[in-house]
């Protein structure tokens, strides 16, 4: 794993960057976030800061500790994460929401998130890893996930309308959490699919809605008097291991604060999550159509809730059709004219969709002349970026593969080129097909 570059807010330190404050004695946190790149750390010294921050893609925001580093939203969202990033070691309070994300992947570690008018952590259509936080006294849900994949481990979630709220979610996991004093401990819709086990639920008005509580969990109304377990509580050593999470983080139930673990420990959990929990062996297939510039993109998923976005803003997406390949039943699809454009897919309420590799399919026509064109020699050129785990390009009839990057397997009999990408890195396909 690459070592993160650390950008310090306080001037006069031997390493990192320093910055002049815009107000006397108050570091300009947003300015440093804007200057930081993916994987770089903006480290905030102890103090109380009145902020409304936008966390840029991949930036790591680290405080000196939740007890001494306070971010106060003053009634607006405290932190909005655009596209991933990490928030570690703060008290986050007095916002419309504490942390709000609709980006690709967000890490939330060792924070106290309290006194927000809405949710403590709200994830919309983006993945999140939420470990070792105290989320209490927020009016909305403690952890609110909508069309997101969430890994929530060893958090203490207390108060609010609900502890956990899942809406149109897939592939999420919540383990070893304390959920107490909420209106509803676990609130969910009919189509969300997630693992929820070894969580301790106590003193909620309703433990689950709908009433059946999925998974093997612990119900003990007398277990807590506050949002932390007593020193002699047997639940402090009742945690269970979680795949991809270091054992030292899962010893007990609920938040381990004020314990402080190295940033690298949490970054490793995020990396494991991206590969194990959300790194399903997804497949994308490209078929070059008769008119250069147009190509059919077919994607295959193990669950019927997913979102596909173009890798470029100037690609046009048309005619999306989503279906269950086993039953041929249609799924719900919605074209999102964002920049870049995207298509959202989800299943119908009340239907049990089994998890099965390559079962749920989205077909759509992409148009981008720079991605598919005929060169001066009469060859077909296909150049496209993707981060799918498995990539397949169909060989056009009457053509053979002249060149291929990155390395892959060429199977003329099957009429396809396959490129493995198990780490789901962003790779550029560069293919030349020559006529024969």
Could you count the other beta carbons within 10 Å of the beta carbon of residue 311? 15
Map residue 246 onto helix, strand or coil.
Answer: coil
Q: What is the mean pLDDT of residues 13-42?
A: 64
Mean pLDDT of the chain: 87
pLDDT tier for residue 280 given thresholds of 50, 70 and 90: low
pLDDT of amino acid 169: 80
DSSP 348: P
Angstrom distance (rounded) from CA 272 to CA 43: 24
% residues pLDDT > 70 (the chain) = 90
pLDDT of amino acid 112: 98
pLDDT of amino acid 107: 95
Cβ atoms of 331 and 324 within 8 Å: the answer is yes
Map residue 210 onto helix, strand or coil.
Answer: coil
Cis peptide before 246 (omega within 30 of 0): no
pLDDT tens digits along 376-428: 999 999 999 998 888 999 999 999 999 999 999 999 988 999 998 866 678 99
Q: What is the mean pLDDT of residues 312-321?
A: 90
Map residue 270 onto helix, strand or coil.
Answer: helix
Domains of the chain in sequence order = 6-277 (2.160.20), 283-435 (2.60.40.3650)
Angstrom distance (rounded) from CA 304 to CA 220: 35
The runs of H, that is alpha helices, within 89-237 are none
pLDDT of amino acid 221: 86
pLDDT tens digits along 193-245: 788 999 999 999 999 998 888 889 999 988 888 898 888 899 999 999 998 89
pLDDT of amino acid 16: 33
107-121, 312-326, 335-349: range with highest mean pLDDT: 107-121
First-residue to last-residue Cα distance in the chain: 45
Which structure tokens are listed for 35? 């200057």
* pTM, two decimal places: 0.67
pLDDT of amino acid 153: 97
Q: Does the pLDDT value for residue 336 go beyond 70?
A: yes
């Amino acid at each position: 794993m690459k070592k993160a570059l650390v950008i310090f807010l306080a001037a006069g330190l031997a390493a990192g960057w320093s910055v002049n404050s815009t107000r006397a004695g108050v570091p300009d946190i947003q300015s440093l976030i804007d200057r930081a790149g993916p994987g770089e750390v903006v480290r905030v010294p102890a103090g109380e800061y009145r902020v409304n921050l936008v966390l840029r893609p991949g930036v790591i925001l680290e405080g000196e500790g939740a007890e001494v580093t306070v971010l106060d939203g003053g009634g607006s969202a405290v932190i909005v994460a655009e596209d991933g990033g990490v928030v570690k070691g703060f008290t986050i309070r007095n916002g419309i929401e504490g942390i709000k994300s609709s980006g690709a992947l967000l890490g939330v570690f060792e924070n106290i998130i309290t006194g927000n008018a809405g949710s403590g952590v709200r994830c919309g259509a983006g993945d999140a890893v939420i470990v070792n936080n105290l989320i209490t006294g927020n009016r909305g849900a403690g952890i609110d996930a909508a069309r997101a994949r969430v890994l929530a481990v060893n958090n203490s979630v207390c108060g609010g309308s609900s502890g956990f709220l899942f809406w149109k979610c897939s592939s999420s996991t919540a383990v070893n959490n304390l959920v107490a004093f909420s209106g509803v401990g676990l609130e969910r819709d009919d189509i969300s699919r997630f693992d929820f086990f070894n969580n301790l639920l106590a003193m909620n008005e309703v433990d689950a809605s709908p009433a059946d509580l999925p998974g093997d969990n612990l119900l003990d109304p007398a277990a807590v008097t506050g949002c932390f377990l007593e020193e002699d509580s047997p639940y402090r050593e009742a945690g269970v291991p979680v795949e991809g999470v270091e054992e030292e983080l899962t010893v007990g139930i609920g938040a381990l604060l004020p314990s402080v673990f190295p940033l690298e420990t949490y970054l490793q959990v995020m990396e494991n999550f991206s590969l194990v929990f959300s790194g399903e062996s997804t497949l994308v297939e490209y078929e070059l159509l008769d008119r250069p510039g147009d190509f059919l993109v077919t994607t295959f998923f193990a669950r019927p809730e997913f979102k596909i976005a173009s890798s470029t803003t100037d690609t046009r997406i048309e005619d999306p059709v989503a279906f269950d390949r086993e039953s041929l039943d249609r799924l719900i699809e919605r074209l999102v004219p964002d920049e870049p454009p995207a298509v959202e897919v989800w299943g119908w309420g009340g239907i049990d969709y089994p998890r099965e590799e390559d079962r749920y399919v989205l077909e759509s026509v992409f148009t981008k002349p720079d991605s598919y064109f005929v060169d001066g020699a009469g060859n077909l050129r296909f150049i496209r970026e993707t981060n799918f785990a498995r990539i397949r390009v169909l060989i056009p009839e009457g053509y053979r593969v002249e060149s291929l990057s990155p390395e892959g397997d060429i199977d003329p009999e099957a009429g396809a080129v396959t490129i493995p990408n198990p780490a789901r890195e962003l790779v550029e396909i560069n293919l030349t097909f020559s006529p024969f």
